[in-house]
Amino acid sequence: MASESADNGHRRVCVTTTTGQANNFEGSKSIAADGVHFVARQPILDLNGRVHAFRLLFREESEPEKSASAGRAMMETAAFHKLNKPSELKRLTGSLVAIVRCAPEALSEELAQVLPPSLTVLEIAPSGGATPELKATCEKLKALGFRLALGEFTGQPEFDSLVELADYIKVDFGRSQPEERRELLQRLRGKSIILLASNLETQKDYLKAREEGFTLFEGYWFCQPVMKRNRRPPANQMLRIEILQALQKQPLDLVKVSQLVKRDGPLTYQLLRLANSPLWALRQPVESIQAALLAVGDDAFRRIATLAIATEFNGDQPAELLCMVMVRARFCEVAGVRRGLDPFGQYLLGLLSLLPAMQGQPMSELAPALAVSPEIRAALMGTKTPERVLLGWLESCECGDWAGCDAAAQADGLNQQELVKTYVEAVAWAEAALHSGS
């Protein structure tokens, strides 16, 4: 189940679809788990904090005892989402490589029919050993254009034949010892294999992996706030909170908002960059705050301004964290309309939900100063409220908690078919916003 705490966040993006028909969010109270095709993504970051690839997670991975049938189900799920089409796979991976775990029992040349080889890395965890048959299958898959990752590897000599075929070696930090990792890295020194550290839950884990010599990092560490005690918010941060408050006035006070934004140079730049992006399809470029407000209208201006504020709040944190809050904001806003919730309040909830990770302070310290309604403040603090229903579902989705998604849908009458449609659109919107003008 997804955490109730707003101080935490998990960056896995989940796409779920059902095979049943659905007309609105208040659909069936119960959705059969076997009627939902789940797939989630988790970013893999490089030494510079940029996304190198996305690992795709399928529901069937939770059933290793049924590896052969689970592998077949995984391929059926990939086919359902049309991931054989590079354009569809890129919607999940932002044009980057997808790493897909596949049980040895399910490896076959049929994978090329459901996953584009040039965009896919197959992760193999050979629990049954590196048999000659497995090596031969891997050689065939590499000939088709797939790359290979050897997972759950701790340097076992019996896997040397697969190491020679591997493009990536993946080491689980939660299940390996430092001395094992040191010996492994020593053995692999000089080989053209990329070392990937997985299951990094904290900043301490991440720094240790960097120190040991890993160059790719997978886990939730970058969503966890690194606390900075006794820190006073910079003056411009307080100004941005004042701007958030002004943005909620009905109608907008054009003069006041313009004066406040003009006092923040970086924020003005971000706002004008976003206003001139393809997101808003303006016929003429705008060069001032007043022109932007008049061109897009009050509601759109509120969203542009709050998005610009979030961009500045993120500071030097990984851009993937900003993409995550953009997805949350857009998803909560659009889905909130269908549930009769205040759309801008939902937008703010998603946008501010990872503020602790951005600012290095717990939500308990940040929330009291935020210019939001009491209901949104309570939701940010993790309180179970109607305002938090959609964000709670999305949190379960992000961390690959399929049972949590099902439970939330049943408890709150959510239609997951409509939710995922909204979510996919939110991902596309966030990617466009993040990369426009860059």
CATH, residue 153: 3.20.20.450
Residue of 228 and 232 predicted with greater confidence: 228
pLDDT of residue 431: 74
Domain boundary among 214, 244, 261: 214
Range of lowest pLDDT (28-37, 73-82, 86-95, 236-245): 28-37
Tell me the two tokens of residue 130. 């590196």
Q: With bands split at pLDDT 50, 70 and 90, how would you rate the model's confidence at 232?
A: low
| Strands 120-124 and 147-150, sheet pairing | parallel
Residue 198 DSSP class: E
Give me the domain span that covers residue 191.
48-214
Is the model's pLDDT at 151 over the cut of 80?
yes
Is the model's pLDDT at 408 over the cut of 80?
yes
Domain boundary among 184, 214, 244: 214
User: Quick one: which of 12, 25, 15 has its CA closest to 336?
Assistant: 25
pLDDT of residue 68: 56
Range of lowest pLDDT (121-130, 323-332, 342-351): 121-130
**Residue 225 in domain:** no
Position 155, amino acid: G
Is the model's pLDDT at 282 over the cut of 50?
yes
Domain check: are 190 and 323 in the same one? no
**Residue 24 in domain:** no
Is the model's pLDDT at 6 over the cut of 80?
no
Is the model's pLDDT at 353 over the cut of 60?
yes
Q: What Cα–Cα distance (Å) separates residue 369 from each residue in 67, 232, 237, 391?
A: 50, 12, 11, 21
Domain check: are 117 and 206 in the same one? yes
Is the model's pLDDT at 16 over the cut of 70?
no
Is the model's pLDDT at 366 over the cut of 70?
yes
Query: What is the CB neighbour count within 10 angstroms for residue 241?
Result: 16
pLDDT of residue 242: 81
What's the rounded mean pLDDT across residues 113-132? Answer: 87
Domain boundary among 149, 179, 214: 214
**Residue 8 in domain:** no
Domain check: are 189 and 249 in the same one? no
Q: With bands split at pLDDT 50, 70 and 90, how would you rate the model's confidence at 253?
A: confident
Cα gap 96→45, rounded to integer Å: 12
Domain check: are 240 and 114 in the same one? no
Q: What is the mean pLDDT of the chain?
A: 81
- Per-residue DSSP letters for 71-136? HHHHHHHHHHTTTTSHHHHHHHHTTSEEEEE--GGG--TTHHHHS-GGGEEEEE--TT---HHHHH
Cα gap 417→423, rounded to integer Å: 10
Domain check: are 263 and 392 in the same one? yes
Tell me the two tokens of residue 119. 């965009």
pLDDT of residue 5: 38
Domain check: are 66 and 189 in the same one? yes
Q: With bands split at pLDDT 50, 70 and 90, how would you rate the model's confidence at 86?
A: very high
Helix (H) or strand (E) holding 29: none
**Residue 228 in domain:** no
Yes or no: say if 51 and 320 are a contact pair by the CB < 8 Å rule: yes
Cα gap 378→389, rounded to integer Å: 12
Yes or no: say if 133 and 110 are a contact pair by the CB < 8 Å rule: no
What share of the chain in percent tops pLDDT 90?
30
User: Quick one: which of 154, 174, 167 has its CA closest to 220?
Assistant: 174
Domain check: are 371 and 297 in the same one? yes
What's the rounded mean pLDDT across residues 356-370? Answer: 87
Domain check: are 387 and 241 in the same one? yes
Q: Which of 21-25, 244-248, 261-265 has the highest mean pLDDT?
A: 261-265
Tell me the two tokens of residue 97. 């490589």
User: Quick one: which of 312, 313, 419 has its CA closest to 366?
Assistant: 313
pLDDT of residue 412: 93
Q: What Cα–Cα distance (Å) separates residue 22 from each residue in 135, 419, 426?
A: 45, 10, 19
What's the rounded mean pLDDT across residues 270-283? Answer: 78
Domain check: are 365 and 251 in the same one? yes
Domain check: are 270 and 194 in the same one? no
Tell me the two tokens of residue 153. 């590897």
What's the rounded mean pLDDT across residues 329-338? Answer: 93
Give the angle 244-247-389 at the CA atoms, nearest 5°: 70
Instruction: Provide the domain count of the chain.
Output: 2
What digits encode the pLDDT tens for the residues 39-85?
778 889 999 999 999 998 887 665 554 555 667 778 888 888 888 89
**Residue 342 in domain:** yes
**Residue 19 in domain:** no
**Residue 367 in domain:** yes
Paired strand residues for 219: 200
- Give residue for tokens 């996304």: 51
pLDDT of residue 142: 95
What's the rounded mean pLDDT across residues 181-200? Answer: 91
Q: With bands split at pLDDT 50, 70 and 90, how would you rate the model's confidence at 438?
A: very low
**Residue 335 in domain:** yes
What digits encode the pLDDT tens for the residues 283-322?
778 888 888 878 888 888 887 888 788 888 887 788 899 8
